[in-house]
Amino acid sequence: MSSTKNIRELSLIELKAYFESIGDKKFRAIQAYEWLWKKNARDFDQMSNLSHDLRKKLSEDFEMNAIRVDATQYSNDGTIKSRFKTFDDHLIEGVLIPTEKRNTACVSSQIGCSLTCKFCATGKMERKRNLSFDEIYDQVALLNEQSEKMYNKKLSNIVYMGMGEPLLNYKNVLKSIDRITASDSMNMSPKRITVSTAGVAKMIKQLGDDKVRFNLALSLHAPTDKKRNEIMPINESNTIDTLIEALNYFYDHTKNDITLEYILFKDTNDSLEDAAELVKIYRKIPTHLINVIEYNPIAGAEFIKPEEDTTQLFTDFLAKHKVNVRVRRSRGKDIDAACGQLANKDKISSN
């Protein structure tokens, strides 16, 4: 075996074959596999029911490229932001969002992002690389440990709404969800997982073809192509009509929930005319909800959060036209953990 092989890329069958090849028992593979996916071991020395010599052999033959918590920040509202360090010293961020009814993990899928959305701090960062499926899994495992430690309960929900565009890391995102939902791992229901996309129409259709079981959220944020082009360059190649077609395809093939995410920007997309255009889109998509999100300021962006009266008028208009709408209040704003704010800021304190 190559010393550069990541042990977590092996299936249980492959792991059994490895243990047989070194003259050991198959049940050792089951023990090791449990350490990897049930007990979330981050190095071979943690596998305490394996002999010292066997752990040494594993460390010689394999790598375990686990991420680790590098720093933590605590919000006044109970939100916890973690900065994670990868095996090759890149930094990403994830967030634990506790409420009375649920504890949600918000995880990243890429190191940086290539989409350059004008309102997003991550969009101002260079995309370094995709995260591997096990690095995404590690974020969930670590945030679950935080949830149990701080709030005495496990995660109830996972959202792929952190750094990066999940559908541009398609295979690793889907493989991470397979691991999270596997019975020999976290065994979480896919219905409690939501993948958020800025709108990659081709890959939204691929989700339908693959008949995924998790939910989908589209970051829409503007009701016309002209306005969306200005704030989200991806719209130039993935127009609203193209996304409407893709979302209908996704729903026809999966029947999974679709949510539209819509951040309000003062004097940009918050007029009643904008609301009327949004109603038209809503009626063309089998979406169950529009989340109207308050804007969270970031350095270098010219956007401003509208007044509460404007937000109320906007959402009242939607509700009057039979739109299922909810205002999503941001959590963790005081630690830059809210929507669009993840950017590995230096002020986060190291552990």
**pLDDT at residue number 1:** 38
My answer on whether 234 and 269 are in the same domain is yes
**pLDDT at residue number 227:** 97
**pLDDT at residue number 332:** 57
Structural domain contains residue 345: no
Per-residue pLDDT in tens (0 to 9) along the chain, 351 residues: 344 699 999 999 999 999 999 999 989 999 999 999 999 999 999 999 999 999 999 999 999 999 999 999 998 888 999 999 999 999 999 999 999 899 999 999 999 998 988 888 887 888 999 999 999 999 999 999 999 999 999 999 999 999 999 999 999 999 999 999 999 999 999 999 999 999 999 999 999 999 999 999 999 999 999 999 999 999 999 999 999 999 999 999 999 999 999 999 999 999 999 999 999 999 999 998 999 998 887 777 788 999 999 999 999 999 999 999 999 876 655 655 555 454 555 444 444
**pLDDT at residue number 2:** 44
My answer on whether 53 and 74 are in the same domain is no
Query: Which pTM value belongs to this model?
Result: 0.92
**CATH code at position 282:** 3.20.20.70
My answer on whether 45 and 91 are in the same domain is no
**pLDDT at residue number 298:** 76
**pLDDT at residue number 345:** 52
Domains in the chain: how many in total?
Answer: 2
Q: Is 351 exposed, middle or buried (0-12, 13-18, 19+ CB in 10 A)?
A: exposed
My answer on whether 139 and 272 are in the same domain is yes
**pLDDT at residue number 265:** 95
Contact assessment for residue 100 and residue 87, using Cβ atoms and an 8 Å cutoff = no
Active-site residue flag, 20: no
Structural domain contains residue 199: yes
Spatial distance between the Cα atoms of 181 and 330, rounded to a whole number of angstroms: 27
Contact assessment for residue 103 and residue 147, using Cβ atoms and an 8 Å cutoff = yes
Structural domain contains residue 340: no
Contact assessment for residue 295 and residue 304, using Cβ atoms and an 8 Å cutoff = yes
Structural domain contains residue 318: yes
My answer on whether 234 and 310 are in the same domain is yes
Q: Find the catalytic residue in 106, 113, 120, 339.
A: 339
My answer on whether 42 and 122 are in the same domain is no
My answer on whether 41 and 92 are in the same domain is no
My answer on whether 190 and 228 are in the same domain is yes
Active-site residue flag, 117: no
Residues near 272 by Cβ (< 8 Å), separated by ≥ 6?
313, 314, 317
My answer on whether 140 and 25 are in the same domain is no
My answer on whether 163 and 292 are in the same domain is yes
**CATH code at position 16:** 1.10.150.530
**pLDDT at residue number 118:** 85
Q: Find the catalytic residue in 34, 63, 93, 165.
A: 93
**pLDDT at residue number 300:** 72
Structural domain contains residue 348: no
**pLDDT at residue number 320:** 97
* Full residue range of the structural domain in which residue 35 is found: 7-61
**pLDDT at residue number 348:** 45
My answer on whether 170 and 260 are in the same domain is yes
3-state SS, the chain, equals CCCCCEHHHCCHHHHHHHHHHCCCCHHHHHHHHHHHHCCCCCCHHHCCCCCHHHHHHHHHHCECCCCEEEEEEECCCCCEEEEEECCCCCEEEEEEEECCCCEEEECCCEECCCCCCCCCCHHHCCCCEECCHHHHHHHHHHHHHHHHHHHCCCCCEEEECCCCCHHHHHHHHHHHHHHHHCCCCCCCCHHHEEEEECCCHHHHHHHHHCCCCCEEEEECCCCCHHHHHHHCHHHHCCCHHHHHHHHHHHHHHHCCCEEEEEEECCCCCCCHHHHHHHHHHHCCCCCCEEEEEECCCCCCCCCCCCCHHHHHHHHHHHHHCCCCEEEECCCCHHHCCCCCCCCCCCCCCEC
Residue 323 corresponds to which amino acid? V
My answer on whether 98 and 233 are in the same domain is yes
Structural domain contains residue 347: no
Structural domain contains residue 120: yes
Structural domain contains residue 27: yes
